[in-house]
A and B are shown apart, each in its own frame.
Chain A
């Protein structure tokens, strides 16, 4: 009955949630409107909750979060990208939440070890996606400035989206089917937001697409340095 947990998959999903939660946490005190302080923190908290369950499936959550080197993290490069402006944060969230919703829906329906978590998380993720979609519509179909910013953000992050559909060892999912659905969903939402679907490649020529193998982008090292500094400064301490 006890299915063995595929550690690679637990780390991949857990690191995605952990890293994106951290990025969203950076917004605290900087959001464009008070309601978004609440909303962004809410999404960050949901993701952190998911991360804690997933990392605990692979080992000790704090050891994994605070004591691994950059190259040992298995998250997508998309989630580690800097917040940028609000448009970039929303584009990142739209891309990721849509992917996460597709994946968790599949996992929730499976009988694998991730089914219980996915069944709970997919409800949260539906709200995250809804939030990102509504803001994509507002920014895309808002003012001239907001449309420009949103279009730019969608373009800038597009090359990190191919990686999401590379199969992860230990996760039984229809990756090609999810990718097709994801693209359909993007075409629909961006279209309604009066935005153009980016045309560039969905993976970079060199490193984009390798987060799952532990190859990250420059902003990630700084993020980890900040996140891990205090914990690492007091080896063995309890908090």
Chain B
């Protein structure tokens, strides 16, 4: 209780006397105590600069992943093979744009606006998830993305619903609900293909072959090579290690692959009775680092499309701003 009270005091002080020289050490103790007590840090609370910067980096990367992630799936909207599938896919891609909006707003609560973050994305100073640098070559890839990529994302993101920063945690609650729909639609899409014609089954298997390993890489480098992990765990931004989450994902996928009638492309994948977990093969980390550096199959294509959409839309945004400036008074008058 003492911690909560101290933290509230710090919040009030930070809010009320932002410009005054505060007792940083005291604020820091209150912050640490709040985090230790599993309390939520809110936008107007005092927080260490590094905590703020870490959150902005992580939330921005997540937001960027949502909007870049629209591209590989949007690639199939115009070719979806039935109207039902087309409606589902459009809704899914729309959800991703919506997730981008929540997340940019969450970052904004930390004092960094969407324009600034988009600039950083467009200029390559901020990243998005490398998984979206792989191409969607067939319709089955839409299913594989839903089942594996969204499945991995959920495994990563569910713990973020308990993240210490309030706005991010709350955005993640909503995002995770929608992501679980996405994951199920991917599974269901693959199931239809797997039980379909021989060609459809082959298409599904091929997609799983191509997406399995990149999905495992989505959890990030092994724990001993992950540069941000330790501090993020301490701040309760992150709750589980990369390897822990990766293992959890593998254990979830194995029985699902069996139900789908599809094979996961790893000859070393087997149940380990002793560990009560699956053993799996070695991830090709060279590929991971190469794609991260920009040498993936679609890095250039994705960022170019994003930059172009932004540049080609500039006149539209300018027009909206000019119109708003001309008519601000009117709107205000109407509202009043």
- Expressed in whole angstroms, the minimum distance between the Cβ of B28 and any Cβ of chain A is 36
Contact with A along B216-236 (1 / 0, CB 8 A): 000000000000000000000
With contact pairs A28-B90, A34-B97, A230-B79 given, residues A149 and B323 touching in the complex (Cβ less than 8 Å)? no
CB-based contact B90/A229 at 8 Å: no
Expressed in whole angstroms, the Cα–Cα distance for A22 and B90 within the complex equals: 10
Can you list, as one digit per residue, whether each of A106-120 has a CB less than 8 Å from chain B (1) or not (0)? 000000000000000
A61-B79 CB under 8 A given contacts A30-B309, A32-B316, A142-B323: no
**B residues touching A (Cβ–Cβ < 8 Å)?**
67, 70-71, 74, 77-87, 90-91, 93-94, 97-98, 100-101, 104, 114, 139, 192-193, 196-197, 199-200, 305, 308-310, 312-324, 326-327
Known: A45-B90, A138-B320. A51 touches B83 (CB 8 A): yes
Complex Cα–Cα for A62 and B91 (A):
19
Which of A33, A41, A66, A141 has the largest number of chain B CB atoms within 10 A? A41
A45 B309 Cβ-Cβ under 8 A? no
Q: Is A48 among interface residues, defined by CB-CB distance under 8 A?
A: yes
In the complex, chain B residues whose CB is within 8 Å of the CB of A145: 315, 318-319
- Asked whether A200 is an interface residue with its Cβ less than 8 Å from the other chain, the reply is no
Complex-state Cα separation, A35 to B101, whole angstroms: 8
Q: List 29 A-B contacts (CB under 8 A).
A: A25-B77, A25-B78, A29-B305, A30-B308, A30-B309, A32-B309, A32-B316, A33-B313, A34-B67, A34-B100, A34-B104, A37-B97, A38-B94, A38-B97, A41-B91, A48-B83, A48-B86, A48-B90, A52-B83, A65-B83, A86-B316, A138-B324, A143-B318, A145-B318, A230-B81, A231-B81, A234-B197, A234-B199, A236-B197
List of B residues within 8 angstroms of A236 by Cβ:
197
Identify which of residues 20-65 in chain A touch chain B, using a CB-to-CB cut-off of 8 Å. Answer: 22, 25-26, 28-38, 41-42, 44-45, 48-49, 51-52, 55, 61-62, 65
Interface residues in chain A, defined as those with a beta carbon under 8 Å from any beta carbon in chain B: 18, 22, 25-26, 28-38, 41-42, 44-45, 48-49, 51-52, 55, 61-62, 65-66, 85-86, 137-139, 141-143, 145-146, 149, 226-227, 229-231, 234, 236-239
Contacts of A230 in B (CB 8 A): 79-81, 139
Residues of A within 8 A of B77 (CB): 25-26, 28
Check A29–B71 contact: CB distance below 8 A: yes
Dominant secondary structure at the A interface: helix
Within the complex, which residue of B81, B316, B321 is in contact with A239, where a contact is CB–CB below 8 Å?
Answer: B81
In the complex, A29→B77 CA distance in Å? 11
Q: How far is the CB of B162 from chain A (nearest CB, A)?
A: 27
Decide: A28 and B70 in contact? CB cutoff 8 A.
yes
Cα separation A38 to B178 with both chains bound (whole Å): 15
**Are B309 and A141 within 8 A (Cβ)?**
no
Cβ-closest 5 pairs across A and B: A32-B313, A142-B319, A146-B319, A41-B94, A28-B74
The answer to whether B85 and A239 have CB atoms under 8 Å apart is: yes
A171-B84 Cα distance, complex, nearest whole Å: 27
On whether A48 and B87 interact (CB within 8 A), knowing A28-B93, A29-B70, A143-B315, the answer reads: yes
Q: Which of A85, A237, A239 has most chain B Cβ within 10 Å?
A: A239
B316: chain A residues at CB < 8 Å are: 32-33, 36, 86, 139, 146
- Residues in chain A near residue B317, CB distance under 8 A: 32-33
Q: How distant is the Cα of A138 from the Cα of B71 in the complex, in angstroms? A: 28
Does B86 contact A138, Cβ atoms closer than 8 Å? no
Contact for B98 among A38, A65, A234, CB less than 8 A: A38
